[in-house]
Amino acid sequence: MELLSGYIYIPVTNLERSVEWYAKYLHFETAFEDPLYVEMRSTTGIRIMLIVSEEAVNSQMTYSSGPQAAYGFVVPAIDQARQWLMDHGIEVRRISNYQGKSFGFYDPDGNIIELWSDYPKA
C-alpha cells in the first residue's frame, strides 16, 4: 500500500470565521463547501477539513508540560514564519529546538497549530 497524501479534520465553531482565518494566515484556499464542513487546500496539496463542532472541542493533546499540537506543518524558514505571524497580530509560543525548530500558535477556536523547520528526515 502506498500513501499519496493526507488530510486533517479540525473542529471549529464558526465555519465562516475559520475559513477566513486559515485563508489569511496559512494561505489555504476553499476547495469544497458543505453545510457541515469546508475542505481547504494549500498550493502544495495539504488538505484540511474544517468541521463544525457545536461544543468547544480542541484538536490538541495535553502532556505534563502543557498542551501540545495534534497537527503541524513544515515551513522552510521558521524564524520568518514566526515573525510574519507576530506582525499580523497572532500570539505565538517560543521556538523550541527538539528534532528541528518548531513553535505553536492558536487558531480562533483554540486549536494549537505547530510549525516546523529543519524537520528530521526519515
Mean predicted confidence (pLDDT) in 78-103? 92
Same domain, 74 and 94: yes
Which pLDDT value is given to residue 90?
Answer: 94
CATH of the domain at 73: 3.10.180.10
Reduced to 3 states, what is the DSSP secondary structure of residue 87?
A: helix
Question: How many Cα neighbours within 13 Å face the side chain of 59?
Answer: 19
CATH of the domain at 30: 3.30.720.120
Number of domains in the chain: 2
* Domain region containing 32: 7-52
Same domain, 23 and 66: no
Residues 38-87 pLDDT 10s: 999 999 999 999 999 877 666 666 666 666 777 889 999 999 999 999 99
Same domain, 112 and 81: yes
- For CA atoms 62, 75, 84, 98, the dihedral sign is positive
Q: What is the pTM of this model?
A: 0.86
> To the nearest whole number, what is the mean pLDDT of the chain?
87
